């Protein structure tokens, strides 16, 4: 199954623009690979259907909705204390778990 990549908010695009160009390309490519396999061996499960992908110093937090075939990106940011705060609020869209 090929998943569709969506963003939880317009803030994701702003977060991506703040990443330096070389790192931005790596993050964007890693996100696109999630369409083929959102649960590959390089990801860590944080909560039910919520995962973290490490791309160098950056983290991509996302949720997988299997029934809809969607990978919903909630955050793309440099690793810090606040990276994992408020996970549930990141994914307030009309999909169900």
Q: What is the pLDDT of residues 34-73, one digit of tens each?
A: 999 999 998 999 999 999 999 999 999 999 999 999 999 9
- Residues with Cβ within 8 Å of residue 15, at least 6 apart in sequence: 75, 76, 77
Task: Please give the domain boundaries of the chain with CATH numbers for all domains.
Answer: 4-90 (3.30.2310.20)
Q: Which residues pair with 76 in a beta bridge?
A: 60
Q: pLDDT tens, 13-35?
A: 888 899 999 999 999 999 999 99
| pLDDT band, residue 93 (cuts 50/70/90) | low
């Amino acid at each position: 199954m090929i998943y569709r990549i969506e963003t939880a908010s317009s803030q994701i695009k702003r977060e991506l623009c703040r990443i330096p160009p070389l790192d931005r390309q790596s993050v964007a490519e890693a996100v696109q690979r999630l369409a083929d396999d959102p649960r590959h061996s390089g990801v860590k499960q944080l909560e039910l259907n919520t995962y973290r992908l490490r791309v160098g110093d950056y983290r991509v937090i996302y949720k997988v909705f299997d029934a809809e075939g969607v990978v919903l990106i909630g955050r793309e940011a440099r690793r810090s204390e606040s990276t994992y705060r408020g996970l549930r609020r990141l994914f307030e869209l009309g999909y169900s778990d």
